[in-house]
Amino acid sequence: MVNVKRKQRKAFVSTEQCVACGCCVKVCPLHAISVPKGITAVVDITKCVGCGKCAKECPASVIEIQEVQP
The span from the CA of 38 to the CA of 22, in Å, is 8
Closest to 42 in 3D by CA, of 18, 68, 8: 18
Q: Which is nearer to ligand SF4, 4 or 11 (CB)?
A: 11
Q: Determine contact, residues 15/31, Cβ cutoff 8 Å.
A: no
Is 49 an interacting residue with respect to ligand SF4 (CB under 6 A)?
Answer: yes
42 binds ligand SF4 (CB under 6 A): no
What is the rounded distance in angstroms from the CA atom of residue 61 to the CA atom of residue 49? 19
Examine residue 68 and tell whether it contacts ligand SF4 (CB under 6 A): no
Point out which residues bind ligand SF4 (CB under 6 A): 11, 13, 18-24, 27-28, 30, 32-33, 35, 41, 43, 48-54, 57-58, 60, 62-63
